[in-house]
Structures are given as structure tokens and as C-alpha cells.
């Protein structure tokens, strides 16, 4: 079962409103802050979050073909060989006829996987933190209402994370690049974030009045019976102004 991330260790504590003036123009930005860290031995097993796996970024694939990876997490490399049957031979009667057997045990189909592709980081330093929201309620400033809240160590400028066991629904994702691992979003002297922000479906922060994060409806996506890939392009606001 999927549960909300504990308040004791949210990956995004708040999107706090900051005001600053540049060339006499007032700009309001909503920014994220995090509190991610190592779990102690006593905490292991007490945090029933959605299982999350980290995988390097793969070449992009057409949107109509679904996610394809040469070696997906928890899977095996693709192969053109016809799989061998694992069914045991059925016992036969002396006359050579198969003996009747009971009904086969149904096998549950694998649950779809949500792949979050995070792109265009300035560097491979620090962590990248995401929060996944199942509704506009709490988005993006209430981490306790996020269905998933987690930070990942960054090793490449573009990478992917896979979310397993996510129930069907409509989701939106907010993320940011914690380059120095200080668990908070860093600003310059004008109050402008120096670290990158990213949103699902390549959403961008609004720079026109009223400035701030994109609305839930503009970056949300449906997740249901099939695998889904959502792209998150990292934006650095100092470059957008």
C-alpha cells in the first residue's frame, strides 16, 4: 500500500513565497525546501513509502512506444529469443491420455511503473528531490500531503528514477536540485533561487504575473494501466530573467 511520506523526514518541507525587486519590478517566486537524510537503524522498516529505484538516464523513446530500457530495474535485458516454457509435463494415464488437472492459479499482471526523467542539470553535484502529489490539495507547498517525497544522489546531468506500486490516478511532480546537500534551497542576495527547479511534463515556473510555480492542472498527468514516462526539464531562474 502507498502511504504519505512521514512529516519527520519530508523531502520537500515547503514552497515558501519570496519577494524581491529587480529593476523596480516585483517578482514573487515559490520555492522548495527539503529535509532529506539518512535513516537510522531504528527507522528501517517504519517508513512504508512507495518503493523507488534509481537508474541512469536512457536514450529517449517515442511517446507512443512506452518506456523501453535495455536493462530495467528489477528486470532483465531485452532478448529476441523465444522464452522457454517453464511448465512441467503433464502426467499421463497408461493409455497415453493426459490426466485431468485442477484450474490454473491466476498470476497477477505486473503493476505499471512511473519513470521520472530529470534533465538538464547544470552539474552532477548533490541531490535532486521530488514530491509527487495526487491532487491540487497541498501542491506544491505541503510536503505532508505528497504521496511520494524523496531525494536522490545525482551522478549525471540527466537521470531517471522509477516509481513502483503507484496506484492509478492523476499526479503532478515538483522537484529541485540541492547542489550542496544543505537540505534547503539557496538564494542570491536578491532572493532569486540559485539552484534549479523542475516540474512534471516539462513544466516551468511562471515569470508573468502572478509569478510562481505552475498550476497543478498544467503539469499533471494520468497514470493507470500502462507504464508512463514524464519529463522534467530543470530551469535555473537566473537564466530565465
Give the DSSP per-residue string, 69-128: -SS-TTS-----SPPPP-PPPPPB-TTSPBPP-PPPPP-PPPPP-EEEEEE--S-S-SEE
How confident is the prediction for the chain on average, in pLDDT?
70
Torsion angle, alpha carbons of 217, 222, 227, 229, to 10: -10
Of 55 and 62, the structure prediction assigns the larger pLDDT to 55
In a domain, 85, yes or no: no
Domain presence at residue 102 = no
Are the CB atoms for 192 and 240 separated by under 8 Å?
no
Task: Identify which of 192, 141, 128 has the alpha carbon closest to the alpha carbon of residue 32.
Answer: 141
In-domain check, residue 46: yes
Answer yes or no: is 144 within a domain.
yes
The pTM for the full model equals 0.61
Is residue 76 situated within a structural domain?
no
* CB-count exposure of residue 63 (10 Å: 0-12, 13-18, 19+): exposed
Nearest to 176 by CA among 204, 190, 197, 150: 197
The 10 Å CB-count burial string (b at 16+, else e) for 87-115 is eeeeeeeeeeeeeeeeeeeeeeeeebbbb
Among 21-30, 105-114, 126-135, 190-199, name the most confident range: 126-135
Residue 38 domain boundaries: 14-63+109-240
- Predicted pLDDT at 44: 33
Q: For residue 78, what is its C-alpha cell?
A: 531485452
89 pLDDT tier (thresholds 50, 70, 90): low
73, part of any domain? no
102 confidence band (pLDDT: 50, 70, 90) = low
pLDDT one-digit tens code per residue, 71-83: 333 333 334 444 4
Instruction: Return the pLDDT at 81.
Output: 46
Determine, yes or no, domain membership for 98: no
Neighbour-count burial of 160, counting CB atoms closer than 10 A to its CB (0-12 exposed, 13-18 middle, 19+ buried)? buried
* Mean pLDDT, residues 47-71 taken together: 40
Confidence of residue 220 (pLDDT cuts 50, 70, 90): very high
What's the CA angle centered on 226, arms 224 and 229, to 5 degrees?
A: 95
Q: Averaged over 217-232, what is the pLDDT?
A: 96
Query: For residue 226, is it within any domain?
Result: yes
Q: Is the pLDDT of residue 156 over 90?
A: yes
- Average pLDDT score over residue span 199-224: 91
Q: How confident is the model at residue 142 (pLDDT cuts 50, 70, 90)?
A: confident
Q: How far apart are CA 90 and CA 239, in angstroms?
A: 68
Asked whether residue 104 carries a pLDDT value surpassing 90, the answer given is no
Given a cut of 80, is residue 67 above it in pLDDT? no
User: Residue 139: its pLDDT value, please?
Assistant: 93
pLDDT for 172-192, tens place per residue? Answer: 999 999 999 987 878 888 878
Q: What is the pLDDT of residue 97?
A: 58
The CA-to-CA distance between both ends of the chain, in Å, stands at 43
Count CB neighbours of 122 within 10 A. 13
- Count of domains for the chain: 1
Highest mean pLDDT among 9-13, 98-102, 122-126: 122-126
Amino acid at each position: 500500500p502507498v502511504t504519505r511520506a512521514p512529516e519527520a523526514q519530508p523531502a520537500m518541507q515547503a514552497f515558501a513565497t519570496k519577494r524581491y525587486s529587480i529593476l523596480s519590478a516585483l517578482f514573487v517566486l515559490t520555492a522548495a525546501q527539503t529535509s532529506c537524510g539518512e535513516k537510522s537503524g531504528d527507522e528501517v522498516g517504519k517508513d512504508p513509502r512507495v518503493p523507488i529505484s534509481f537508474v541512469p538516464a536512457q536514450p529517449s523513446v517515442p511517446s507512443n512506444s512506452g518506456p523501453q530500457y535495455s536493462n530495467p530495474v528489477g528486470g532483465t535485458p531485452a532478448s529476441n529469443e523465444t522464452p522457454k516454457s517453464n511448465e512441467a509435463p503433464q502426467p499421463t494415464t497408461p493409455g497415453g491420455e493426459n490426466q485431468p488437472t485442477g484450474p490454473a492459479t491466476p498470476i497477477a499482471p505486473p503493476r505499471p511503473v512511473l519513470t521520472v526523467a530529470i534533465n538538464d542539470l547544470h552539474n552532477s553535484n548533490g541531490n535532486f528531490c521530488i514530491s509527487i502529489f495526487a491532487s491540487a490539495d497541498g501542491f506544491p507547498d505541503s510536503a505532508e500531503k505528497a504521496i511520494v517525497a524523496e531525494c536522490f544522489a545525482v551522478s549525471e546531468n540527466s537521470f531517471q528514477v522509477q516509481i513502483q506500486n503507484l496506484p492509478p490516478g492523476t499526479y503532478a511532480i515538483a522537484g529541485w536540485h540541492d547542489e550542496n546537500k544543505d537540505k534547503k534551497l539557496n538564494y542570491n542576495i536578491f532572493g532569486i533561487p540559485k539552484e534549479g527547479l523542475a516540474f512534471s511534463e516539462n513544466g516551468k515556473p511562471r515569470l508573468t504575473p502572478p509569478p510562481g510555480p505552475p498550476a497543478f492542472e498544467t503539469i499533471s498527468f494520468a497514470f493507470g494501466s500502462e507504464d508512463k514516462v514524464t519529463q522534467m526539464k530543470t530551469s535555473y531562474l537566473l537564466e530565465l530573467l
